[in-house]
Chain A
Amino acid sequence: MKGNEALAEAAMRAGCKCFFGYPITPQTELAAYMAKNMQKNGGVFLQAESEIAAINMVLGAASTGVRAMTSSSSPGISLKSEGISYIAGSDLPCVIINVERGGPGLGGIQPSQADYWQATKGLGHGDFHLLVFAPASVQEMVDMVVKAFNKADEYRMPAMILADGLLGQMMEPVTFPEIAVEMPDKSGWAADGHKNKREHHIINSLYLTPEELEKTVVDRFARYDVIKEKETDAELYLTEDADIVVCAFGATARVVKSAVNDAREQGIKVGMFRPKTLWPFPEKEVQKACANASKVLSVEMSMGQMVDDIKLALSCAKPVEFFGRTGGVIPTPAEVLEKIKAMGGNN
């Protein structure tokens, strides 16, 4: 199954009741799959007039307590950033898929990871975060979309699947696990008509008293602290004896894994650290992965973005180098291996 289609199918199985989108390469198959199947499953598919309208339709649907989703690719995510900020500020759960392409501007349509900063640090104005999941296979896309819906509901915040054009277009066998849809009770806040049985609910992000706004943000960050404690996830691959640890996420991690295997065959002690959650960033896991390493390398499809988080997590105690390709160019295992060797990686 194609990555984009698997995302759509998994979302529906996770209880997603509506999809609002706008066409953009390379995520279009996702919307097409939704268009074909959402209504059959008793849900809503609507092609909006813009990315801005689509995210605000998500805001409306999520306000009433239903599981809502939108998907796009980099330039479209920028357009959605206004709505995402309002969704975060209104404590609404939803899932947003970004099948990244090269930027900035119109950029290109080939795979990229250059929206890492946007997703983890700056997706809209104000103090807030999204949960950001980074799948590296079609199966993981399926598993993470389910998790994203559950965690978005649990913490009442937007969750993002940060994929890239490579994963979106990739075909792999996939199994859909028996999905236990954990649908929490939203009757305490959802604006779905009070039926004359309760006080009216207000979904809102406006607080004109600075102290009141500060309190809502501080409370939200207290929730973020719990998330940082509980929700980080990462894969550590051959890191225990590694002299060099190569860090990569998403599709790039597949390339890196090949390079690590090649290096190991040549007797070079290399391992890989792969964050599965980008926010919260798995700080403890990267510290553990690099505990015995003398050098660290971050490989990304960008000019180097996650590398900053690695340096921070390691408190700059170890040299962290960077290798990347950008603009839609995918690094090859040979390039990565060459870099590992250049760093002095030996047995």
Chain B
Amino acid sequence: MAVVFERPKALCDVPLHYCPGCTHGIVHRLVAEVIDEMGIEGDTVGICPVGCSVMAYNYFNCDMIEAPHGRAPAVATGVKRTNPDKFVFTYQGDGDLAAIGTAETVHAATRGENIVVIFINNTIYGMTGGQMAPTTIPGQVTQTTPYGRDPQLAGYPVRVSEMLATLTGTALAQRVAVDSVPHIREAKNAIRKAFENQRDKKGFSLVEVLSTCPTNWGMTPIKALERLREEMIPYYPLGVYKDITEGGNK
């Protein structure tokens, strides 16, 4: 028998600290698989956010930097501008990228910074125990929206892929999900494309990954996948919002 599926080399062989059923681990693996397949581990520098994936520096075998909250795209800019031959990616959650780090995200995109941004959207702040995120859906109950998010009070969610697709510097803005095997395959293709864009010097590539947080949603891991499908995908439709590459139709 031959091995048809095993842990990618770019993922360190250590236990992940994430809660049972949290899909961060799936996305980590997809990034690591792409790094393996492109053979770029030795030339890659990853930037971690503040949030649940703050310790992703322990999980990727490439060189890693832990950025202040929301500043990963600025840190990545500093790395990439001084090391243009390296592959640089950030891995950020919704609070990190779309609240405190909005300016860094938007400006890295509009400069066409030649980096990859992996954006985990699970509609909640996980690390701090389940508060409203900029992506929390109207009506969603969180610790800081105990009666459900009321847009009159708390404003509306940010649709990051759509927003960044409006910027000239953005090469790729694509929303994917990790709730099912077909979606996971699509997600991996998107991540691969993002890294290839960087290799081909196309500019800023964002892959938004709809993800789950069973613990803070108060659901079983399987129910959480159902919520992702039934509540999140209708509000955050999957798809390619911008793709400037040849064959990309947007």
Q: Do chains A and B touch in the complex (CB under 8 A)?
A: yes
Contacting B at CB under 8 A, from A69-113, are: 82-83, 86, 90
- Interface pair B74/A52, CB less than 8 Å apart: yes
Contacting A at CB under 8 A, from B71-88, are: 71, 74-83, 86
- Interface pair B47/A60, CB less than 8 Å apart: yes
Cα–Cα distance between A131 and B58 once the two chains are bound (Å): 31
Number of contacting residues on B, CB 8 A?
Answer: 35
Contacting A at CB under 8 A, from B49-104, are: 54-55, 57-58, 60-68, 71, 74-83, 86, 103-104
For A204, the chain B residues whose CB sits under 8 A away are 57, 64-66
- Using known A-B contacts A49-B107, A60-B77, determine if residue A194 contacts B63 with beta carbons closer than 8 Å: yes
Per a CB cutoff under 8 Å, which of A44, A50, A52 touches B82? Answer: A44
Per a CB cutoff under 8 Å, which of A64, A82, A194 touches B42? Answer: A194
For B83, the chain A residues whose CB sits under 8 A away are 64, 192-193
- Interface pair B81/A193, CB less than 8 Å apart: no
Cα–Cα distance between A194 and B62 once the two chains are bound (Å): 7
Cα–Cα distance between A260 and B58 once the two chains are bound (Å): 59
For B82, the chain A residues whose CB sits under 8 A away are 17-18, 44, 60-61, 64, 66, 68
Give the nearest-CB partner of B62 in chain A: A200
Give the nearest-CB partner of B43 in chain A: A193
- Using known A-B contacts A59-B67, A82-B68, A86-B68, determine if residue A53 contacts B104 with beta carbons closer than 8 Å: yes
Give the nearest-CB partner of B10 in chain A: A200
Q: Is A197's CB within 8 Å of the partner chain B?
A: yes
Cα–Cα distance between A196 and B77 once the two chains are bound (Å): 23
- Interface pair B43/A20, CB less than 8 Å apart: no
- Interface pair B65/A191, CB less than 8 Å apart: yes
Give the nearest-CB partner of B72 in chain A: A56
Q: Is A32's CB within 8 Å of the partner chain B?
A: no
- Interface pair B45/A192, CB less than 8 Å apart: yes
- Interface pair B75/A57, CB less than 8 Å apart: yes
Cα–Cα distance between A58 and B74 once the two chains are bound (Å): 9
For B179, the chain A residues whose CB sits under 8 A away are none
Q: Is A202's CB within 8 Å of the partner chain B?
A: yes
Cα–Cα distance between A73 and B30 once the two chains are bound (Å): 44
Give the nearest-CB partner of A48 in chain B: B74
- Interface pair B79/A64, CB less than 8 Å apart: yes
- Interface pair A49/B75, CB less than 8 Å apart: no
| Binary flags per residue of A32-62, CB closer than 8 Å to B gives 1, else 0 | 0000000000001010111011101111111
- Interface pair A57/B43, CB less than 8 Å apart: no
- Interface pair B71/A56, CB less than 8 Å apart: yes
Q: Which of B63, B66, B71, B83 is packed against the most chain A CB atoms within 10 Å?
A: B63
Interchain nearest-CB distance for B113 vs A (Å): 10
Give the nearest-CB partner of B107 in chain A: A49
Cα–Cα distance between A46 and B74 once the two chains are bound (Å): 11
- Interface pair B78/A57, CB less than 8 Å apart: yes
Interchain nearest-CB distance for B72 vs A (Å): 8
Per a CB cutoff under 8 Å, which of B61, B65, B106, B107 touches A63? Answer: B65
Interchain nearest-CB distance for A50 vs B (Å): 6
- Interface pair A44/B81, CB less than 8 Å apart: yes
Cα–Cα distance between A18 and B84 once the two chains are bound (Å): 13
Q: Is A205's CB within 8 Å of the partner chain B?
A: yes
Q: Is A318's CB within 8 Å of the partner chain B?
A: no
- Using known A-B contacts A46-B77, A63-B75, A66-B82, determine if residue A193 contacts B68 with beta carbons closer than 8 Å: no
Cα–Cα distance between A269 and B55 once the two chains are bound (Å): 62
Give the nearest-CB partner of B68 in chain A: A86
For B58, the chain A residues whose CB sits under 8 A away are 202
- Interface pair B63/A193, CB less than 8 Å apart: yes
Q: Is B33's CB within 8 Å of the partner chain A?
A: no
Per a CB cutoff under 8 Å, which of B43, B61, B65 touches A60? Answer: B65
- Using known A-B contacts A61-B79, A200-B60, determine if residue A192 contacts B65 with beta carbons closer than 8 Å: no
For A62, the chain B residues whose CB sits under 8 A away are 78
Q: Is B140's CB within 8 Å of the partner chain A?
A: no
- Interface pair A202/B78, CB less than 8 Å apart: no
For A192, the chain B residues whose CB sits under 8 A away are 45, 63, 83, 86
Cα–Cα distance between A153 and B58 once the two chains are bound (Å): 26
Give the nearest-CB partner of A18 in chain B: B82
Cα–Cα distance between A17 and B215 once the two chains are bound (Å): 46
Cα–Cα distance between A95 and B34 once the two chains are bound (Å): 36
Q: Is B243's CB within 8 Å of the partner chain A?
A: no
- Interface pair B63/A191, CB less than 8 Å apart: yes
Give the nearest-CB partner of B54 in chain A: A206
Q: Which of A49, A50, A83 is packed against the most chain B CB atoms within 10 Å?
A: A49
Interchain nearest-CB distance for A52 vs B (Å): 7
Give 6 nearest A-B pairs by CB, closest first.
A60-B78, A57-B78, A56-B74, A191-B63, A60-B75, A49-B107
Task: Give 19 pairs: A residue, B residue, CB < 8 Å, sorted on A.
Answer: A18-B81, A49-B106, A50-B103, A52-B71, A52-B104, A57-B78, A59-B75, A59-B78, A60-B77, A63-B78, A193-B43, A193-B86, A200-B60, A200-B62, A202-B57, A203-B64, A203-B66, A204-B66, A206-B54
Given contacts A60-B65, A60-B79, A192-B63, 12 further A-B contacts (CB under 8 A): A17-B82, A44-B82, A48-B77, A52-B103, A60-B76, A60-B82, A66-B82, A68-B78, A196-B41, A202-B57, A202-B65, A206-B66
